[in-house]
A and B are shown apart, each in its own frame.
Chain A
């Protein structure tokens, strides 16, 4: 497994909860609590979970936007966290943000937005920069006239394309895509996802794809990790997760995907209700005393599940 471009080992991101008379630390919010992920080069790893499960925090920790309480993050064999870190990871790792509105500065023209990373890492002449931006606009499918426009002149989908153009401007090796389509209309989602896949193939990118929608990641990813309250509950290939879910939480998630085949509606409904009942009765068994998922156990070469430890 030495071809992993990203190796996250036992990552913990805890936030102190202050209170009491002297504002001392009373407790911690464990946003991410012991997550280990390996992302092989050239693949897309999907990180799935509900709101507050810690998936975005994990992504931001890789970007260096969050402090890391414990654990290590290795990128291409270099450590990104801890005291030994002085590798500038921003040239090789880029991020696509969830909200196409707040992630683009409303006061900046598309040209300024896309050249920001170029100005920081490459010294180019004005003409070179214009050509580069035009090139990038072409890749993401925006017209050249977009170059001197402001973000508010674009739709959500187009804005997300600008975000992608900015993210790939430095030709990074790894892109962290934080729910890049969840703020978009369903009709636009597929477009954006498709062109992201194209770009990934063309540029030989590795992607950490964060989402809450299993349907979307099935389309995009080769590996999946399911997160619940800061911990992974199940991890494996897309095939492992969709055809052989082991954890009750995963099972329910998979069952919740809408099926377009009308004949299966009845059957799916029965299955869904069955799982719902089981979830309500037995889900506590799948968690330890503190309500956290158990440590992952290897059940096949690629498949790991946080099943209860039977003692």
Chain B
């Protein structure tokens, strides 16, 4: 187990290095550099040249890359935002919790709605209820999240305004109060629900086929022939075995949501990291965009690692490979 984890960790290092190289290349391809936004156009050219030299912008690319990585690793220096005139990390720090809350809320909805639906349609397969649920997953697979989110926003934000249409909290409430928390949750419902209602179709389909497969297994038939109650058979035997693949993909699910938040945050005007990314692209604030790509890539690596480790605990065959 430990051996597998360590070996799996070793694979992530080259991935991290490759990711940082890619981001570095992207950064150097982007128009302008760290100085173009900082410098007053009145400053004479020679002085700019001097500053460039001092900042190491004239060094060969591998030295620049080394310095860049070194600054991140040793000092936690991820650069400054030219547009906001603040360290990038501060900007991300402002936004990250909003995205985390949004993701957690989405995950909550996915499992709170998806698991019962999957169980019901698997247990009562080929009934009308099952057909409705299956039909829903069919539609869900074919609907892009952003289209669905827009429709929800149109319906529940404007036509029948029950939820706020943008922001993460109502202005003017002191942080920490109960009202503040409730307002936050109120702002989260629509975006997280629109992601979850589309995102849960995979879970439902997986669970449904898992349940249908498991309930034909010999040990389930044995339990039934021994007179175990139907409800108990489902809670003890079938649910536990069908949930395994879903549990294993938990890591991917979380990072997928964190990464997929760009469009949703844009639609709901939700001030999270995805929105920060689009803002920084449109204001040509590339230093922020680069750190965000690095960050999301890092998250994906961690998510994949997490899922692999969970899988190896559940399924010993993976470990041998």
Listed in ascending order, the chain A residues whose CB lies under 8 Å from chain B are 21
> CA A21 – CA B6 in complex, angstroms?
9
Whether B217 is near chain A, meaning CB under 8 Å from some CB there, is: no
Count the A-B residue pairs with Cβ separation under 8 angstroms: how many? 3
Residue of A nearest to B7 (CB): A21
The answer, yes or no, to whether B3 is at the interface (CB within 8 Å) is yes
Neighbouring B residues of A21 by C-beta, 8 Å? 3, 6-7
Q: How far is the CA of A21 from the CA of B5 in the complex (A)?
A: 11
Dominant secondary structure of chain A at its interface with chain B:
loop
CB distance from B238 to the nearest CB of A (A): 36
Q: Which residues of A contact B3 (CB under 8 A)?
A: 21
> Which of chain A's residues have a CB closer than 8 A to the CB of B7?
21
**What distance in Å separates the Cβ of B128 from its nearest Cβ neighbour in chain A?**
39
A21 to B7, CA, bound (A): 7
| 3 intermolecular pairs with C-beta atoms under 8 Å apart | A21-B3, A21-B6, A21-B7
List residues of chain A with CB within 8 A of the CB of B6.
21
Q: How far is the CA of A96 from the CA of B3 in the complex (A)?
A: 44
State how many angstroms separate the Cβ of B320 from the closest Cβ of chain A.
10
* Docked pose: A218 CA to B83 CA in angstroms: 89
Which residue from chain A places its CB closest to the CB of B320 in the assembled complex?
A19
Closest beta carbon of chain B to A22's beta carbon, Å = 9
| Min C-beta distance of B102 to chain A, whole Å | 41
Within 8 A of A (CB), among B174-200: none
CB distance from A174 to the nearest CB of B (A): 39
- Across the A-B interface, give the 3 residue pairs with the lowest CB-CB distance, nearest first: A21-B3, A21-B7, A21-B6
Q: Once bound together, how far apart are the Cα atoms of A106 and B104, in whole Å? A: 49
User: For the complex, what is the distance from the CA of A21 to the CA of B8, rounded to whole Å?
Assistant: 11
Bound-complex Cα distance A21 to B4 (A): 9
A21-B10 Cα distance, complex, nearest whole Å: 11
A301 to chain B, nearest CB (A): 50
- What 0/1 pattern do residues 1 to 44 of B give for CB contact below 8 A with A? 00100110000000000000000000000000000000000000
How many Å from the CB of B319 to the closest CB on chain A? 12
Q: Closest approach, in angstroms, between the C-beta of A16 and any C-beta of chain B?
A: 16
Nearest CB on A from B268, distance (A) = 48
Task: Kindly provide the distance from the CB of B13 to the nearest chain A CB, expressed in whole angstroms.
Answer: 15
Report the minimum CB–CB distance from A80 to chain B (whole Å): 34
Q: For the complex, what is the distance from the CA of A234 to the CA of B104, rounded to whole Å?
A: 70
